[in-house]
Structure 1
Amino acid sequence: MTDSALSQLKKLTTIVADSSDLSAIEQFRPLDATTNPSLITVAASQPNNRELIEAAYHQAKSEGLVHDALIERTIDILTVKFGVEILKLIDGRVSTEVDASLSYDTEATITKAKELLALYKDYGVDQNRILIKIASTWEGIQAAKALEAEGVHCNLTLLFGLHQAKACADAKVTLISPFVGRILDWYKKAENVDHYPIEQDPGVLSVKAIFDYYKTHGVKTEVMGASFRSTEQVLALAGCDLLTVAPNLLAQLYEDQRTVTEQLIAPTAIAQITTELSESEFKESIQHDLMASQLLQSGIDGFIKARDQLSALLRQSFGENAELK
């Protein structure tokens, strides 16, 4: 019997679960897992996670916090608690995201990252098992650069182009997450196209270009394709360092019997990067890339909205003690 497409893919690429669904992670047993505010909010809405929510709230309350500060601290604690539970089910790392509202504030991002790491330390989790997830703004990348210099591993997310990837390489970040599906969605809408052949898929091509650039220049930063719309997109990037995949697509790959072949093969490194991208060059590149600028901002806005939804859920759950002043 032929191995499933998922089994074959795992021999070529590290598969990461893009989920905060503990049952799905337990089922597919990926090496690593990624979370984001949207996934945490969905998971927090599930009745079987009520105990985690209550524990997070009471821990925050025990610190003497009230009102907005109580809710914000509860969200951070809950986010870390999900990470701790995920780490019980996997052998690798979990990505935990900094509040997206801090995406344009370098110092605040650094502070929040250290607060999250301190929570993980309180739960006895080794720092090397955590990836601090930060949006790929200039300010976010500089925060990651400072954190990496202190030994904190970072995952730069909401990445849509080579200019962001170059800045991340300059910052020597541990890992980047270029988004495949969102790029495809944008081009389908912008060009009024219903479908692209997989060999012309703009999201897949973007990740391939970043992968080739990194490997050609000997960049150690890992490339993790993210935000997939189909198993075809996932398999088109077989051979990428890592791929983070939602449970529904993991299930489809598990049932798929097609033969999987390596699509991304690292070229021989020929030249180190000698010049770093400046802030003005980075921001000019973003400004002139309509797709990247729109998707970066909409992604940040979406994660802020998800955190606001979680905040509303907590206020509803815990009543007047969590009300605004």
Structure 2
Amino acid sequence: MNQLDQLKAFTTVVADTGNFKQMAQYAPRDATTNPSLILKAVQNADYAPLLRDTVAAHRGEPLDRIVDQVLVRFGLEILKVVPGRVSTEVDARLSFDTAATIARAHYLIGLYEAAGIARERVLIKIAATWEGIQAAKALEQSGIHCNLTLLFSFCQAVACGEAGIQLISPFVGRIYDWYKKQAGASWDEAAMAGANDPGVRSVSHIYRYYKKFGIKTEVMGASFRNVGQITALAGCDLLTISPDLLAQLQASDAPLQAALTPALAEAATDLHAVSYQESSFRYALNEDAMGTEKLAEGIRAFAVDAAKLDQLIVGLQ
């Protein structure tokens, strides 16, 4: 049995791509998208007609509405391939606007429901800023489930758990990138691999904390740089994986065991419950240089790609 099939025995595998024509071969349950992945997909000749047709069908509408139509069109195609859920992201430029994020999420869900898709099959992706978490809390209370993304710091995970969020996406690879860059020439790749990888340690800590204290929020490790990070998190609720790394897992027959289990987490004695209000959340995030920098950098990068997608659409009108 290959590693991908072994992984599926104890972790829900999610495809991290906008390329719905490629994902079927890996039989993921869910799929995630983001502005960068959609931008990459629409520049592929295979998807040019989809973009062109969607823009033509909504010509004359406000630009943000056309963009959402494109995102949902990709989501609808993905849902023909996966049996579970698709994550569709709210514009990153709204990451500090709670009311606008809520309004955008309702619009996206409305488009899916108008196309006959139950809201249970959609996760609205929102950056895990304080404002984003509050937006997601309100959305969850109205029956719209959310995926809090760009999550790097433990305080973000705790706040999401307290807010009753459906799912979080802690970013393994970007945490690894930051620590590797900080270490410079002193970085020891072998010593910092597997369970010692700083990104793996972060997600493991969040998973153990959630299970120890009965927090229902799902943990989905994201943003992987290598297969070793994935196998070190085997047993995590979900892992969202790029097609390249899915292919590597599928090509390997090496034995794989669960590294994370609820039983081990519940038996842990090194975990203590914490809680955050807005001021303590902002201070804790500020104290975490990696979390602060990677959150800001991630929002900026998604905003840049959202603007590029805007321009592609404007060019087709």
The normalised TM-score by structure 1 is: 0.92
Which residue pairs with 1:72 in the alignment?
A: 64
Structure 2 residue aligned with 1:225, among 221, 228, 231? 221
CA-based RMSD of the aligned residues comes to 1.7
Distance 1:122 1:41 in 2: 24
Alignment partner of 1:283 is 2:282: yes
Shift of residue 200 of structure 1?
Answer: 1.4
- What residue number does 1:163 align with? 155
Indicate conservation of the 8 Å contact 1:18/1:34, yes or no: yes
The equivalent residue for 1:208 is: 204
Which residue matches 1:307?
306
Q: 1:132 aligns with which of 118, 124, 127?
A: 124
In 1, the alpha carbon distance for the partners of 2:207 and 2:225 equals 20
Deviation at 1:244, TM superposition (A): 0.2
Secondary structure of the residue aligned to 1:151 is coil
What whole-Å deviation, never above 9, does each CA across 1:231-278 have from its counterpart, x for those lacking one?
A: 01000000000000000000000001100011001123899x987410
Q: What letter matches 1:158 in structure 2?
A: L
Cα distance in 2 between the residues matched to 1:294 and 1:275:
23
Deviations 1:123-167 (A, max 9, x none): 111100000000000000000000000111000000002100000
Q: In the alignment, does 2:252 pair up with 1:256? A: yes
How far apart are the structure 1 equivalents of 2:251 and 2:169? 26
Give, in whole Å, the separation in 2 of the partners of 1:170 and 1:23.
37
| Structure 2: tracts of 5 or more residues without a match | none
Q: How far off its partner does 1:59 sit?
A: 2.8
2:77 is equivalent to residue 81 of structure 1: no
- Number of the residue aligned with 2:242: 246
C-alpha contact 2:158 2:274 (8 A) present in aligned 1: no
Partner of 1:145: 137
Q: Report the CA distance between 1:48 and its aligned residue.
A: 1.6
Specify the alignment match of 1:187 in structure 2: 179
Secondary structure of the residue aligned to 2:58 is helix
Q: Is the 8 A contact 1:217 1:270 kept in 2?
A: no
Check if 1:99 corresponds to 2:95: no
> 1:123, 1:49 → 2: CA distance?
20
- Alignment partner for residue 7 of structure 1, among 5, 8, 12? 5
User: Are the equivalent residues in 1 in contact too, given 2:208–2:266 (CA < 8 A)?
Assistant: no
Please identify, of 262-271 and 93-102, the stretch whose mean Cα deviation from structure 2 is larger. 262-271
Q: Is the 8 A contact 1:132 1:155 kept in 2?
A: yes
Q: 1:310 to 1:124 in 2, by over 3 A?
A: same
Structure 1 pair 181–80 and aligned structure 2 pair: CA distance change class (3 A): same
The CA distance in 2 between the partners of 1:269 and 1:102, in whole Å, is 40
Offset, 1:6: 0.5
User: For structure 1, which runs of at least 5 residues remain unmatched after alignment?
Assistant: none
- Scaled by the length of structure 2, the TM-score of the pair is 0.94
- Tell me, in whole angstroms, the C-alpha distance in 1 between the residues paired with 2:149 and 2:273: 24
Cα distance change on mapping 1:106 and 1:18 into 2, 3 Å: same
Q: Given residue 279 of structure 1, which amino acid in structure 2 is its aligned partner?
A: E
Q: Provide runs of 4+ in structure 1 moved above 6 Å.
A: none
Q: Is the 8 A contact 1:22 1:86 kept in 2?
A: yes
CA distance in 1, matches of 2:195, 2:275: 31
Could you list the per-position Cα deviations for residues 254-310 of structure 1 after superposition, in whole angstroms to 9, with x for gaps in the alignment? 001100011001123899x98741000000011111100000010000100111111
Does structure 2 retain, via aligned residues, the 8 Å contact 1:80–1:116?
A: yes
Match of 2:37 in 1: 39
Deviation string for 1:186-229 (max 9, x for gaps)?
A: 00001112622323100000000000000000000000000000
